[in-house]
Amino acid sequence: MVRKVNDALDALGRILECLLILYRYDVAERAMCVVFDYPDKDVGADRAFLRVRFDGVSNFRRIPGEFAELQKFIETYSTRATGAATVVQNVNVDASGRAMQIALWFGHSFGGISFMCDGVAAETRSARAIRTGADEWDYRDIDDGARVDFYDPFARSAAAGTL
């Protein structure tokens, strides 16, 4: 089950060293969704995920890193599309102005992203992990047992949440 996070900025501050799973910047909607592996998992869960949605996004900028394969990711990124593991190295939120300035840094290999936004909301989802092969896992929602796609744990479905 997808659960709303009461303080999205606090959750964002807890993602250091967490795996970046995906991000999508929708220029037309002026929205950015970012999904991470998340340390705050429910009791009985093996893994948790955090989805953060930024609304009223402007001044989006992709700061390229040093690894050529990762420079192709501009407005979208998915860990499914690369063998490289990308983790959060720094989060900078400046909420002192009318709009928030957000900067997420994923290390020298990937680089980072920065943008302005008017609002932020977040949701979590916890899952159990069942090993099905040497490097294969089956993820199931902790509450209802529904299959969870590790690479898109908030995929559009009845349990996908509201963001």
Number of H helices, E strands in the chain: 1, 12
Structure-token match 């989802």, residue found = 125
In 3-state terms, what secondary structure has residue 150?
coil
Judge whether 103 lies within some domain: yes
Structural domains in the chain (count):
1
Judge whether 19 lies within some domain: yes
Dihedral of the CA atoms 117, 19, 63, 6 (nearest 10)?
10
Domain that holds residue 83: 3-148
Q: What is the pLDDT of residue 98?
A: 87
Q: What is the pTM of this model?
A: 0.92
Q: Categorize the per-residue pLDDT at 156 as very low, low, confident or very high, splitting at 50, 70 and 90.
A: low
Judge whether 17 lies within some domain: yes
Judge whether 22 lies within some domain: yes
Judge whether 121 lies within some domain: yes
Q: Does 162 score more than 80 pLDDT?
A: no
Q: What is the pLDDT of residue 50?
A: 97
pLDDT tens, position by position, 98-137: 899 999 999 999 999 999 999 999 999 999 999 999 989 9
Q: What is the pLDDT of residue 120?
A: 97
Judge whether 14 lies within some domain: yes
Judge whether 163 lies within some domain: no
Q: Categorize the per-residue pLDDT at 159 as very low, low, confident or very high, splitting at 50, 70 and 90.
A: very low
In this structure, which long-range contacts are made by residues 90-98, counting pairs with CB atoms below 8 Å and at least 24 apart in sequence?
90/16, 91/12, 91/13, 91/15, 91/16, 93/9, 93/12, 93/13, 95/9
Q: What is the pLDDT of residue 135?
A: 86
Of 81-85, 111-115, 142-146, the poorest mean pLDDT is in: 81-85
pLDDT tens, position by position, 6-17: 999 999 999 999
DSSP notation for 23-86: EEEETTTTEEEEEEEES-PPTT-SEEEEEEEEES-EEEEEEE-S-GGGGG-SSEEEGGG-S---
Judge whether 158 lies within some domain: no
- The amino acid sitting at 16 is L
